[in-house]
Amino acid sequence: MTAGAAQVYIVYYSTYQHVKKLADAIERGAKRIAGVDVKLFQVAETLPEEVLAKMHAAPKAADVPVIAADDLEKADGILFGFPTRFGIVPAQIKTFLDSTGKQWASGALRGKQAGTFFSTNTQHGGQETTALTILPFFAHHGLQYVPFGYGHPNLQKTTEPIGGSPYGAGAIADVTDESPSKLELEVAEAQGEYFARQVLVRVLGERALAQQQQ
């Protein structure tokens, strides 16, 4: 199996870096799959610096590039990560999604795979609804949605609150705490590995089919 057979992009927005920590864990998991190149991107901030300062927002990761809509065309699979804003994706994510009109018009994202991960401030603050609000974007672009299901036993633990759902890894994170927890990061790593494997299977399968039909 040749290196770089499939391209997996992890695209996130994070105010307090809880989602960034999930993204890092997902990246670690995805890199376990030989033949998959994994790249981490962040979505551009839309809030002015003075507002971010009043929110006590964490500094952005200087080593993670800001994604442009054209970058998505190079990926075979994309995992989108975001915090919630009243149970839906935040404006920063929506602004980025709205910039993909050219890709919609050309069908450039059709057939690629996509999934989600997320963070909420409370136990019932949108661990499922926030993920649901990006599904219309997947549908309109013809992206193939890859949910994680109950792909890790931590998602069925009842001894403590654990972020995540069948829609993907998640964190229940207060602004001041050190979330995600160890259990949440384990789920994120497992999702990254699972998603990368599914993308690689599709890419290699499509290439084999194309060769067979030549």
CB 116 within 8 A of CB 131: yes
pTM here is 0.96
pLDDT 10s digit of each residue in the chain, 214 long? 445 689 999 999 999 999 999 999 999 999 999 999 999 999 999 999 999 999 999 999 999 999 999 999 999 999 999 999 999 999 999 999 999 999 999 999 999 999 999 999 998 899 999 999 999 999 999 999 999 999 999 999 999 999 999 999 999 998 777 789 999 999 999 999 999 999 999 999 999 999 999 8
CB 106 within 8 A of CB 94: no
CATH of domain 6-212: 3.40.50.360
Query: Which residues lie closer than 8 Å to 100 by C-beta, 6 or more apart?
Result: 69, 72, 109, 141
**Residue carrying the six token digits 């551009």:** 44
Which of 26, 32, 23, 91 has the alpha carbon at shortest distance from 63? 23
